[in-house]
Amino acid sequence: MNDIPQKDITLSLYADNTAILAQGKKFSTISNSLSKYIKLESWLKRWKIQLNVEKAEAIIFSKYFKHCPEIKIYNTPMPWKKEIKYLGVILDRNLTFRPHLTHIKEKYNKAFRAQYSLICRNSRHSIQNKLLIYQAYLLPILTYASPVWAFTAKSNFNIIQVLENKTIRMIMQTDWYIRNADIRKSTNIRSLKDFVIKLSAKFYNNLNQIDNIAISNIPFYDSSLEKFRKRPRAIFCT
């Protein structure tokens, strides 16, 4: 399927998910690129692919474009969304990732309730086993795709930080007056922020080894500069 038409756009394919990315300073440039690209009738017919128009959505990442012209696919208008979900990550227009972290909170709470009897204060499991349950089952929910959203504002990150704090305190059976930092220090448990930074460092260090055109074309930027402080690698400057 590598012969799918590409011009002035970036195409990302994973399983049956396709993301078409276009960029520009003017919306007319973006709109024209997308409109030309989604005319794929001949290519789809050759590969005998049935496109689900009802699931097609569009989003523009900008604070400035408030009213976006209509874009059609198979003469069906694609709705412009304030946020979309791609490969399990919710992307909002301003890339604050607050909607995604709120979604993680809901997902975590559901999983937490399912494991509550095993890790609660009255559980007969040892603290070590409770921590293993947390690290194997609950922690991956909090850190899924974290290199993408780790640079989010502190107020957004706190949405999930409080979930970890609550869980660790319950597992360690600590009194209310003991600080979270003291709990981590005495048990050598890495903070969620530090763990996410570690995952992000490993992810970005391995990017050069990945044979992917879209990844190879990502421009380099110095995250220490102020104008780049809202990009993913800025997590290392906090």
Per-residue pLDDT at 30 exceeds 90: no
Mean pLDDT of 87-116: 96
For 149-181, the pLDDT digits (tens) are: 999 999 999 999 999 999 999 999 999 899 999
Sign of the CA dihedral with 113 first, then 115, 119, and 120 last: positive
Tokens of 11: 């195409």
Least confident stretch, 2-11, 22-31, 216-225: 2-11
Give the mean pLDDT of the chain: 84
For 58-81, the pLDDT digits (tens) are: 888 887 777 777 777 777 888 889
d(CA 140, CA 127) in angstroms, rounded, equals 19
Check residue 11 and give its pLDDT.
73
d(CA 217, CA 127) in angstroms, rounded, equals 46
pTM of the predicted model as reported, rounded to 2 decimal places: 0.84
